[in-house]
Chains A and B, each alone.
Chain A
Amino acid sequence: DIQMTQSPSTLSASVGDRVTITCRASQSISSWLAWYQQKPGKAPKLLIYDGVILESGVPSRFSGSRFGTEFTLTISSLQPDDFASYYCHQYNSEPWTFGQGTRVEIK
């Protein structure tokens, strides 16, 4: 099984900060990775797929990148609406696996 190691588990930041969340795959997954945002009491929402492609309607302050088996979700300027939990998800091979999640809190 492919393990997805996501860090940090919690992140405290202020509005306007640049925020970076990392997911490392235990083996190669090419670019087959998605990022989701989840707010309390809500279903996850797709932000990025295929590692770097921004889902339609998602603000351009969100971006994804890949370097080998390390993937990064970056929020260029954190907005009040961005305080939420974020998860990565590999779909290279079954069983599909998620990172443990990152909770972005207000500093």
Chain B
Amino acid sequence: EVQLVESGGGLVTPGGSLRLSCAASGFSFNLFDMHWVRQAPGKGLEWVSSISRTSTYIYYADSVRGRFTISRDNAENSLSLQMNSLRAEDTALYYCVRDGRTVSVAGGNWFDPWGQGTLVTVSS
């Protein structure tokens, strides 16, 4: 069974840092691109960042570029998101998401499956 388990969320003051982790199991982690998607309370889904299977290609949303860093460890089957200079608008549930397939015909693929998310709250 494919599983994605996020951890590392919590309450942090504005300007602070937090590191999210995602433990993957049940599939060949090194064959899939991975993503972070967030959802602010009561709001819609927002893509945050993506990393290719060998970390060659990394993408960020404009809203987090320069503050967040995505990384992965294929030996440990883990995905991370280092979040610095956090703002109130970064408050959200952060989902770890796997790419839908191991090859890309388009620019990317659908997202599936999703972890259960880890909540990040930025507040003084």
Interface residue ranges, A against B (CB under 8 Å): 30, 32, 34, 36, 42-46, 49-50, 55, 87, 89, 91-101
* Residue among A30, A49, A97, A99 making CB contact with B110, cutoff 8 Å: A49
Residues of chain B whose beta carbon lies under 8 Å from any beta carbon of chain A: 35, 44-47, 50, 59, 61-62, 95, 100, 106-117
* Alpha-carbon gap, A44 to B114, bound state (A): 7
Q: List chain A residues, Cβ under 8 A from B113.
A: 43, 46
B104 and chain A: residue at smallest CB distance: A91
Q: Interface SS of chain A: helix, strand, loop or mixed?
A: loop
Q: Given A34-B100, A91-B106, A95-B47: A43 and B115 within 8 A (CB)?
A: yes
How many A-B contacts at CB < 8 Å in the complex?
A: 71
Min Cβ gap A38→B in Å is 8
- Which of A55, A87, A96 neighbours the largest number of chain B CB atoms within 10 Å of its CB? A96
8 A-B pairs besides A46-B111, A50-B110, A93-B108 with CB distance below 8 A are A43-B116, A89-B111, A91-B107, A93-B107, A95-B59, A96-B47, A98-B46, A99-B44
- B114 proximity list for chain A (CB < 8 A): 43-45
- Specify the chain B residue showing the minimal Cβ separation from A32: B106
7 interchain residue pairs of minimum CB distance: A34-B110, A43-B114, A91-B108, A32-B106, A49-B110, A46-B112, A93-B107
Known A91-B106, A91-B107: A98·B112 in contact at CB below 8 Å: no
Nearest CB on A from B35, distance (A)? 8
Inter-chain contacts of A42 with B (CB < 8 A):
116
B95: nearest residue on chain A (CB-CB)?
A43
> Across the interface, which residues of B come within 8 angstroms of A50, CB to CB?
110
Pair A55/B112 contact, Cβ less than 8 Å: yes
Across the interface, B107 reaches (CB within 8 A) one of A43, A55, A94, A99, namely A94
- A96 & B50 in contact (Cβ 8 Å cutoff): yes
20 pairs of residues in contact across A and B, judged by CB atoms under 8 Å: A30-B106, A32-B107, A34-B100, A36-B45, A36-B111, A43-B116, A44-B45, A44-B111, A45-B114, A46-B100, A49-B100, A49-B110, A87-B44, A91-B109, A91-B111, A92-B107, A93-B108, A96-B50, A98-B46, A101-B44
